[in-house]
Amino acid sequence: MKSNALNNSVHPADSKPKSAGLNQVGAKAPAGLILLGTVHYDPKGFSRTRAFLEGHGTDLILVEISPFSLQFRKEHSSELRITFLRNLQAVCQKLGIEPGHARRHVQIASILRQMAIPFEYRASASYARRAGARIAPVDYSAFSRKWIETWPEMISTENIEQLLKLKNSSPSISSLYAQAAMRTGIARTSHPEILPAGDAPGWQKREESMADKIATALRAFNPLRPVYIGGWWHLSFGGSVRTLREILGVSPDCCMLLDQVPLRSALEKIVPCM
């Protein structure tokens, strides 16, 4: 299996960003499309994603992962994990830290999650196999490639030693979703801009590429209940980078955050966006 284990997986062309006729803020949104925003480290993310997809009866899932990133993780994540844990063991011996304790450090746990296939895709793939839905990785491979090129430094002993010296704490998942609700307008409150890491032009190309791939998939498959699943920042608005939500012209009523989803599917289907 080279590109994907799912026969119903589709890979929209990962070309340079195009307009797709949807690149103006306020443009007519694709019919029925829901944007589902996540906190990538949500420990309940897999269950919540499955619950949403089951309750909504989703027939096309558009996931924030690029074809390159997905394939790279499938082919190399096990090897990278072994190297990382070996380096962690060496640092623990140097610093006199118990390895099990070190693995629970928030920075170390974050790297282990980052190297794995994200829950958004795993949950979507699991649902797609059962329901016969289509699933498409829609992130920008050129952007992913640049990010993954930093991984050798990320898993190095030098970086691990510095990370273990940092405070072992992080914001709660509920506080991160509360922040997301303010910055996406879902909480109906004012929101300060939050800028993504890295250069703004690169992020703009990424947003435009994702929007183009989503529009292409929607035209190709004409789904009844399509859903985009990815980090909540892509649902924000009003900043210096025009986000996926703005490019596609998706209204607040068609944006959700994953913590709004019950862990069990509702008896009634979630009403599709119109």
**Spatial separation of the C-alpha atoms in residues 106 and 90, rounded to whole Å:** 19
Q: Which of 4, 19, 8, 20 is closest to 216 using CA atoms?
A: 20
H/E run at residue 91: helix 67-95
Sheet holding 34-38, edge to edge: 134-137, 60-63, 226-231, 34-38, 255-257
pTM for this model (two decimals): 0.86
**Spatial separation of the C-alpha atoms in residues 134 and 6, rounded to whole Å:** 9
Check: CB of residue 237 under 8 Å from CB of residue 243: yes
Q: Quick one: pLDDT at residue 12?
A: 63
Q: Quick one: pLDDT at residue 274?
A: 65
Q: Quick one: pLDDT at residue 36?
A: 98
Q: Quick one: pLDDT at residue 14?
A: 64
10-residue block means of pLDDT along the chain (274 residues)? 43 55 49 94 95 96 98 97 98 97 96 97 98 98 96 98 96 95 76 64 95 96 96 92 95 93 56 66
Residue 217 three-state SS: helix
Residue 211 three-state SS: helix
Residue 231 three-state SS: strand
Pick the CATH number of 34-68+119-147+170-260 from 2.40.10, 1.10.10, 3.30.310, 3.40.50: 3.40.50
> Looking at residue 30, what DSSP letter applies?
P
Residue 62 three-state SS: strand
Q: Quick one: pLDDT at residue 23?
A: 41
